[in-house]
Amino acid sequence: MMKLLLAAPLLLLVLTTLEARPKPAAVKCKTGPLDMVFVIDSSRSVRPFEFETMRRFMIDIIHNLEVGPNATRVGVIQYSSQVQNIFSLKTFFKRADMEKAINSIVPLAQGTMTGLAIQYAMNVAFTVQEGARPLHKKIPRVAVIVTDGRPQDRVTEVAAQARDAGIEIYAVGVQRADMNSLRAMASHPLEEHVFLVESFDLIQQFGKQFQDKLCAIDACADGKHGCEHQCVSARGSYACHCRMGYSLNQDKKTCTMINFCNFGNHSCQHECVSILNGYYCRCNDGFTLQADGKACQATDICNGIDHGCEFKCVSTAGSYHCVCPEGQQLQADGKTCNKCKSGHVDLVLVIDGSKSVRPQNFELVKQFVNQIVDFLDVSPHGTRVGLVQYSSRVRTEFPLNQYKTAEDIKKAVLKVEYMEKGTMTGLALKHMLEHSFSEAEGARPLSQNIPRIGLVFTDGRSQDDISEWARKAKESGITMFAVGVGKAVEEELREIASEPVEQHFSYSTDFSTMTHIVDNLKVNICPEEGKGELEIQSPCECEALVQFQSNTVAILENLTEKLAQLTARLEDLEKQIANKK
């Protein structure tokens, strides 16, 4: 600030000058409506008489504006170390009332927190609650910041936020105001929004120039600009701007959403999809997006569809295919295998029908049973199948000797009714051993060496002891398989299962993902060839045996020939030794 030796006489001179200056012209600035807020520096560096010139600056501009609720609205805030609202955009709609309020301002005379004042203007002064018209009405929002010094806080970031919010900022500096700070605050183009006045004495002359600027800001008001998003007036003309996330097209009027995928740094494994102000990654069909939002992993399609594979389904990228066990070939339908005849078994399935299973899951259990039946060679002299259901009690659904074909068994399984209630797995094992594998219910005599297999399916902890009857079942020669789902207890499953346990026990987290268990059982349930009374030689095994025998004979013949050659050489050596003697 200028150092004045005689403050009182100069103050009198300024007041006299103010009183003697010409009255504002009667012709008002004929623009469209504005929402304009003065942001006035009243820090301690602004002397009282200098503050008076700032009052006159505001009043002169207001006198040349057409003010009113549907015309230009005016608000005033002053700041130093804090911000004070003098009047908001909704307070006054008459120039006389505004002038009276401006003349009543008492300067704060503290620090210079310009950034704080801009923040207040953005968050409070220009809100609809304080009288600003909604943004969709496209009423220009204008902030006029007048300051005489360097801000004591940061202004660059908050000013940028204010401009992005649609506020057009004019920065007016007096005397030793910091030009870099003014440029950081003001809207673009800077040459039209930044003003530096050498002294408060000259601010009145500057007022007329500034009024001309304000009167030119509404070149967008006639609505003929053609801007798709925003019209911004400048120098009596205008420029079209786009909202955040869009770029201006070559016609300088229309806008196109920025394609963030074109920047090449999205790192999406499959596909990048551009959206407003960003992008997201998308995977091809048959893949799921991983937690990083970028990588894709093939979906296990086999667990989600009825694939129809006889032996095993293998998921691939977006598809699947069926495979057969070693020694079998996939048929033309792409699903079934040309089976080598397997041995025959007496198989009893013991399924959990307790309340915890729930009706919809019990239907999945029945489907699971029928999937097992599908890969068995069911016949009176081949594989026999019986079914037992248990909860708080045990019920034979059908014994081993009731059905002769796989189709009949599958139909019977679908008709089984859900029991509900408790989980007496030990009682079910006892029933299986004493009744289901009796000759009266269709089990073939032990003398025929037909393998006996029991498969227990459960979803929870047993309510009775299983140890005794699991042990007795295995001691009686029954090969036990244990299948658990959901809350099934692994310790109990292992106790039921035969050795080696890992080949006779399976677990799935829920009923909808039991497909892999069926695949494992296909490999492990079928017994070795040649067991049982009705021995059926497998063509596959015979072919392998013939090949093995042929290879063995060829090797023996080769060894015999080499042995004969070695014997002849030894005889020659013996003759040579004898001749030397």
For residue range 104-162, list pLDDT tens digits in order. Answer: 999 999 999 999 999 999 999 999 999 999 999 989 999 999 998 889 999 999 999 99
Task: Enter the tokens of residue 578.
Answer: 């004898």
Q: Do the Cβ atoms of 459 and 490 come closer than 8 Å?
A: no
The whole-number pLDDT of residue 201 equals 61
Tell me phi and psi for residue 79, to 5 degrees: -145, 155
Alpha helices in 375-514 (DSSP H): 406-414, 425-431, 467-475, 490-496, 501-504
Q: What is the mean pLDDT of the segment spanning 378-404?
A: 92
Which pLDDT band, with edges at 50, 70 and 90, does 214 fall under? low
Separation of alpha carbons 175 and 199, rounded Å? 5
Task: Enter the tokens of residue 484.
Answer: 């658990």
The whole-number pLDDT of residue 96 equals 94
Q: Is the pLDDT of residue 14 over 50?
A: no
Separation of alpha carbons 35 and 398, rounded Å? 87
DSSP 575: H
The whole-number pLDDT of residue 205 equals 57
Q: Is the dihedral of CA 107, 108, 111, 113 positive or negative?
A: negative
Stretch among 261-265, 326-330, 343-347, 574-578 having the lowest mean pLDDT: 326-330
Separation of alpha carbons 468 and 483, rounded Å? 19
The whole-number pLDDT of residue 121 equals 96
Angle of helix 95-103 versus helix 48-63 axis, rounded to 10: 170
Per-residue model confidence as pLDDT tens digits over 544-555: 555 556 666 667
Q: Is 137 helix (H, G, I), strand (E, B) or coil?
A: helix
Q: Do the Cβ atoms of 320 and 329 come closer than 8 Å?
A: no
Angle of helix 48-63 versus helix 203-215 axis, rounded to 10: 30
Stretch among 147-161, 209-223, 414-428 having the lowest mean pLDDT: 209-223
Residue 189, preceding bond cis, omega within 30 degrees? yes
CA distances 114 to 79, 119, 158, 177, 206, Å, are 7, 9, 10, 12, 22
Q: Is the pLDDT of residue 540 over 50?
A: no
Strand partners, 271: 282
Q: Is the pLDDT of residue 484 over 80?
A: yes
CA distances 92 to 74, 117, 468, 518, Å, are 8, 21, 94, 82
Task: Enter the tokens of residue 129.
Answer: 């609650």
Closest Cα to residue 519, out of 377, 368, 341? 368
Which pLDDT band, with edges at 50, 70 and 90, does 184 fall under? very high
Q: Is the pLDDT of residue 49 over 90?
A: no
Chain Cα centroid distance, residue 269: 15
> What CA dihedral angle connects 201, 204, 207 and 209, to 10 degrees?
-80
Say if residue 489 is exposed, middle or buried (CB neighbours under 10 Å; 0-12, 13-18, 19+). middle
Half-sphere exposure of 217 (CA within 13 A, CB side): 27
The whole-number pLDDT of residue 218 equals 63
Closest Cα to residue 312, out of 324, 301, 304? 324
Q: Do the Cβ atoms of 49 and 148 come closer than 8 Å?
A: no
Q: What is the mean pLDDT of the segment spanning 399-422?
A: 92
The whole-number pLDDT of residue 531 equals 40
The whole-number pLDDT of residue 185 equals 94
Q: Is the pLDDT of residue 24 over 80?
A: no
Q: Is the pLDDT of residue 94 over 90?
A: yes
The whole-number pLDDT of residue 488 equals 83
Report if pTM > 0.75: no
Q: Do the Cβ atoms of 4 and 10 come closer than 8 Å?
A: yes
Higher pLDDT, 3 or 180: 180
Higher pLDDT, 94 or 564: 94
Residues 6+ apart with CB under 8 A from 503: 524
Which pLDDT band, with edges at 50, 70 and 90, does 515 fall under? low
The whole-number pLDDT of residue 517 equals 67
Say if residue 330 is exposed, middle or buried (CB neighbours under 10 Å; 0-12, 13-18, 19+). middle
The whole-number pLDDT of residue 161 equals 96
In our burial notation (b when 16+ CB lie closer than 10 A, e otherwise), range 389-399 reads bbbbebebbbb
Q: Is the pLDDT of residue 458 over 80?
A: yes
The whole-number pLDDT of residue 232 equals 83
Q: Do the Cβ atoms of 77 and 121 come closer than 8 Å?
A: yes
Separation of alpha carbons 489 and 356, rounded Å? 14
- Write down the residue that tokens 């030119």 correspond to: 216
Residues 6+ apart with CB under 8 A from 469: 426, 429, 430, 433
The whole-number pLDDT of residue 234 equals 62
Pairing relationship of beta strands 452-458 and 346-352 according to DSSP bridges: parallel
Separation of alpha carbons 334 and 357, rounded Å? 34
The whole-number pLDDT of residue 9 equals 36
Separation of alpha carbons 121 and 543, rounded Å? 92
The whole-number pLDDT of residue 169 equals 94
The whole-number pLDDT of residue 118 equals 96
DSSP 354: -
Per-residue model confidence as pLDDT tens digits over 244-289: 888 899 999 999 998 889 887 888 999 999 888 888 999 988 788 8
Alpha helices in 420-538 (DSSP H): 425-431, 467-475, 490-496, 501-504, 515-525
Q: Is the pLDDT of residue 3 over 90?
A: no
Closest Cα to residue 378, out of 351, 337, 347, 417? 347
Which pLDDT band, with edges at 50, 70 and 90, does 345 fall under? confident
Task: Enter the tokens of residue 23.
Answer: 């009255």
Tell me the average pLDDT of the chain: 81
Q: Is the pLDDT of residue 420 over 60?
A: yes
The whole-number pLDDT of residue 509 equals 76
Q: What is the mean pLDDT of the segment spanning 15-38?
A: 57
- Write down the residue that tokens 């004493």 correspond to: 434
Q: Do the Cβ atoms of 338 and 306 come closer than 8 Å?
A: no
Q: Is the pLDDT of residue 11 over 60?
A: no
Separation of alpha carbons 63 and 152, rounded Å? 33
Which pLDDT band, with edges at 50, 70 and 90, does 27 fall under? very low
Stretch among 1-5, 30-34, 476-480 having the lowest mean pLDDT: 1-5
